[in-house]
């Protein structure tokens, strides 16, 4: 009897407890909406954590994926993959990058960027430099190297010893930049809006000084656009709003409309550090994910989605400011484009209350509500979101 109970318990709960899951099961999505297994409809302003930038199951992307599925699912990187080369061309055309490496996720993209920085320093520049500077409250992934790059102790807890070669500075701190370049520093890695760290945009003057120091001291400037990229902040890439040209840009999330994909874009002189055998992946850049990427980027460009999203981002910000003016418990509205944070105590309570009213939003730390509509959302859907949040704030005792 004891053994049968154990087996039954395992069958009921076979997953590792790595997530605190909300008590709903999503089974269908379309546009800005999802449905649970009980048929309940929700306005999804999480976008799969800034991943479904064209909404759920966008028809144009779906059509391309279905066509590709009838032809070929997987091909190793020992052979040419047409959709991979096409997606790389699209990314190069629309960015400051010259070469692209594809992988499967944001963490893998940042892992590759860290490896590229070290290899560039040691194999191209012929130095012994290896240190990467990152910033407090950043988030760069869950691999051992990228969680070490992440400037949050709660992410690193229990994984000691961490990888050698990372140093952390306070974000948006002008004086701290005087310590940017150390004896062994080869690169700087940062987000232009710290997403998981509280939806905190970088100050333009700070970024300009940081970029100037990188150029003066020969440090690679690497921008993590995992969450901010592919139109999320009101430009295709967030760095385009800061007047800088990074040496390396990492992408994932919105690039594949939900299909797992990551990418590293690099300047020609940096990319040459990677040669055959220096880095690789089995599934990265496979026909399905890169077909999704080509369809996503093509649709965004041909339908002026970034420009429309920038307008909607301003509208969302204006409506959130009205909430701030009405409810003193809201301390601040911040973010860029459709990556928005509402600074409010016990934000998770608002998340739960909003879900009970059929609105899905997220947190970014204990006191920041994170709102991530699809780039294809409408003013009416934004109004619906604001209406629900207002109702929640009327009822919640936070």
Q: CATH no. for residue 141?
A: 3.40.640.10
Burial 202-234 (b: 16+ CB within 10 A, else e): beeebbeebbebbeeeebbbbbbbbbbbbbbbb
**Residue 256 belongs to a domain:** yes
At 97-109, the pLDDT tens digits run 999 999 999 999 9
Interval 145-199: pLDDT, tens: 999 999 999 999 999 999 999 999 999 999 999 999 999 999 999 999 999 999 9
pLDDT class of 13 with cuts at 50, 70, 90: confident
Per DSSP, helices labelled H in the chain are 2-12, 47-50, 59-69, 82-93, 106-119, 144-149, 153-156, 204-217, 268-271, 287-302, 305-326, 347-355, 379-395
Residue 285 lies in a domain: yes
Distances (CA, A) of 247 to 83, 118, 193, 277, 315: 24, 13, 18, 22, 33
CB 28 within 8 A of CB 52: no
Domain containing 265 equals: 81-302
Residue 316 within any structural domain of the chain: no
- Structural domain tally of the chain? 1
Per-residue pLDDT tens over the stretch 209-268: 999 999 999 999 999 999 999 999 999 999 999 999 999 999 999 999 999 999 999 999
Phi, psi of 2, rounded to the nearest 5 degrees: -60, -45
Q: Residue 128 falls within a domain, yes or no?
A: yes
Q: Is 243 within the bounds of a domain? A: yes
* DSSP per-residue codes, 260-315: --EEEEE-HHHHTT--TTSS--SSTT-HHHHHHHHHHHHHHHHTTHHHHHHHHHHH
Residue 177 belongs to a domain? yes
pLDDT-derived band at 12, boundaries 50, 70, 90? confident
Percent composition of the chain: helix, strand, coil (DSSP 3-state, to 5):
40, 20, 40
DSSP state of 188: E
Name the nearest CA neighbour of 372 among 57, 137, 53, 107.
53
> Is 376 a member of any domain?
no
Average pLDDT over residues 353-368: 97
Tell me: pLDDT of 35 over 60.
Answer: yes
pTM of the model as a whole: 0.94
Residue 35, domain member (yes or no): no
């Amino acid at each position: 009897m004891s053994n049968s109970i154990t087996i039954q318990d395992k069958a009921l709960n076979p997953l590792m407890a790595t997530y605190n899951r909300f008590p709903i099961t999503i089974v269908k999505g379309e546009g800005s909406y999802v449905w649970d297994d009980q048929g309940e409809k929700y306005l999804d302003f999480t976008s799969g954590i800034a991943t479904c930038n064209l909404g759920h199951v966008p028809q144009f992307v779906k059509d391309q994926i279905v066509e590709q599925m009838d032809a070929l699912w997987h091909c190793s990187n020992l052979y040419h993959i047409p959709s991979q080369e096409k997606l790389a061309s699209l990314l190069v055309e629309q960015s400051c990058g010259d070469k692209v490496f594809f992988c499967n996720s944001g963490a893998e993209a940042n892992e590759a960027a860290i490896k590229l920085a070290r290899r560039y320093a040691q194999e191209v520049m012929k130095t012994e430099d290896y240190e990467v500077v990152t910033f407090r409250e950043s988030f760069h992934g869950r691999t051992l190297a990228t969680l070490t790059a992440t400037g949050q102790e709660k992410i690193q807890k229990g994984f000691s010893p961490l990888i050698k070669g990372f140093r952390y500075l306070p974000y948006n701190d002008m004086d701290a930049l005087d310590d940017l370049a150390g004896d062994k520093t080869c690169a700087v890695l940062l987000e232009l809006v710290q997403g998981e760290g509280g939806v905190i945009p970088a100050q333009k003057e700070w970024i300009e000084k940081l970029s100037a120091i990188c150029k003066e001291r020969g440090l690679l400037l690497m921008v993590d656009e995992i969450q901010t990229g592919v139109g999320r902040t009101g430009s295709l890439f967030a760095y385009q709003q800061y007047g800088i040209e990074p040496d390396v840009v990492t992408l994932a999330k919105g690039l594949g409309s939900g299909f797992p994909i990551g990418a590293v874009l690099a300047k020609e002189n940096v990319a040459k550090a990677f040669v055959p055998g220096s880095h690789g992946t089995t599934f990265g850049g496979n026909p399905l994910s890169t077909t999704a990427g080509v369809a996503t980027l093509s649709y965004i460009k041909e339908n002026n989605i970034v420009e429309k999203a920038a307008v909607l981002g301003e509208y969302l910000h204006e409506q959130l400011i009205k909430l701030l003016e009405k409810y003193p418990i809201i301390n601040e509205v911040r973010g860029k484009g459709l990556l928005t944070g509402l600074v409010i105590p016990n934000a998770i309570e608002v998340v739960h209350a909003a879900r009970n009213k059929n609105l899905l939003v997220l947190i970014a730390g204990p006191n920041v509500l994170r709102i991530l509509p699809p780039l294809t959302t409408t003013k009416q859907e934004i109004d619906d979101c604001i209406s629900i949040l207002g109702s929640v704030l009327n009822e919640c005792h936070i």
